[in-house]
A = this chain, B = another copy of it.
């Protein structure tokens, strides 16, 4: 068994899409990354996060049933759980944030469980860069691979701290607009090169329904998103992608560029399920047979045979 340490929010989401709306449901980057990586049976994972006394025990039980170690999810009895509410536009590519209540997240002081301080792979979900730095500082051993997810909010508000954590990770996952903002380069090829100069050896640029690019040295790999009948709710797709990426790498214990390509395909595959239902619902019921079928669809989607000359 290989160990994967995840830090990220465990939260309440209330989501509205053109297809309906939810009450407060389980959400958060840590939740989606954890559920996605739990698909891989040889992965021993833990989520580090914080919730309030209002967080239902059955959510934690569900994560535990998925073999996710929740001992690093601190419960603040008198606090309230982080809450996000958003409404997607008709194209589902853009959304308005209606409510952001940081609550217990405002003073989040992550505590890495003793038995995960030598984890093989560390996934730093989107959070304040100082929280991400604190997690790395608590490790007893340099992980084989550290993966960072972040967003434009931290570029706008905590640039210096963001540069510190970017300098210390091996892989960064970021969306296309954020890659452009981070580097002031429109060409994603140039943006990725500039990000590599900031620290990461590998750059993953997420383009939502337009797939994902993996950059390493002067090499590029592209994974399309699977064309879907319908996208129902995009919430958590990026985190599910990241969870599939690190889960596959932890399971296979191979962090070569060649194997990272497969990890990107698994990330895209798992994300393609996530968006089919509201919130975490689809990820909770996912089977191996379903995933295998879709991996085959990915092969069909991308295979071609040209003989030159």
Q: Which residues of A approach B to under 8 Å, CB–CB?
A: 90-92, 186-190, 207, 210-211, 213, 219-224, 227-231, 258, 261-262, 264-266, 292, 295, 299-306, 308
Contact = CB atoms under 8 A, between A and B. Distances in A.
Contact of A262 (B210, B231, B300, B304): B304
Contacts of A211: 210-211, 224
9 contacts: A92-B186, A220-B227, A220-B300, A222-B301, A223-B304, A262-B305, A262-B306, A265-B304, A299-B306
A117 to B, nearest CB: 32
Contacts of A91: 186
B187 A231 contact: yes
A183 to B, nearest CB: 14
Contact of A221 (B220, B258, B295, B304): B304
Contacts of A221: 300-302, 304
Q: Which of A186, A229, A292, A300 has the most CB of B within 10 A?
A: A186
How many chain copies?
A: 2
A190 B229 contact: yes
Q: Which of A210, A222, A292, A302 has the most CB of B within 10 A?
A: A222
A295 B307 CA distance: 10
B227 A224 contact: no
A173 to B, nearest CB: 17
A224 B220 CA distance: 12
B229 A187 contact: yes
A228 B265 contact: no
Given A187-B229, A220-B301, 7 more contacts: A187-B227, A190-B229, A221-B300, A222-B224, A222-B302, A261-B303, A262-B305
Nearest to A18: B186
Contacts of A228: 187, 189
Q: Which of A224, A265, A292, A304 has the most CB of B within 10 A?
A: A304
A300 B219 contact: yes
Q: Which of A92, A266, A305 has the most CB of B within 10 A?
A: A305
A229 B189 contact: yes
A304 B223 CA distance: 9
